Amino acid sequence: METRALLKLALVIALVSIFIIAILADRLEPPTRKIETINEKNLDEWVKIQGRVTQQKEYETLKIITVNDGMASIDCILPKEFNILNLENNNVEILGKVIDYKGNFEIKVAKIKILKIQK
């Protein structure tokens, strides 16, 4: 194939693929899983969990919420950009990456959805 034609084809494929990846990134999410199934194999992986916030701790640059799904619980780290008030006793859905902090697995939250607001 001629160099110019190959270059054009490569650029078109790159642009179209990036466009499709961007759409998929916006629309696709991993399936919801049980907290107890999260282990070292999932380090740095995206996971989605649902559960009740049993505890909330505030720090200068972040919030840590403990989410329990009835079987197990996990600490979820919310960066300071998340402008959420008290989540305690609310049911939430969390999408984030599994990280290891001093031997414990935690979720670094990318998205949080409140499923049911406790009155």
**Which residue ranges make up the site for another protein (CB under 8 A)?**
1, 3, 6-7, 10-11, 13-15, 17-18, 20-22, 24-25, 28-30, 40-41, 43-46, 48, 95, 100, 102, 110
Name the percent of the chain in helix, strand, coil, to the closest 5: 25, 45, 30
Min separation Cβ 88 and another protein, Å: 26
Nearer to another protein, 102 or 119 (CB): 102
Q: What angle do CA 112, 25, 44 make, to 5 degrees?
A: 65
Min separation Cβ 55 and another protein, Å: 25
Nearer to another protein, 18 or 114 (CB): 18
3-state secondary structure of 74: strand
The answer to whether the beta carbons of residues 72 and 34 sit under 8 Å apart is: yes
β-pairing, 73-79 with 104-116?
parallel
Min separation Cβ 109 and another protein, Å: 12
Min separation Cβ 16 and another protein, Å: 9
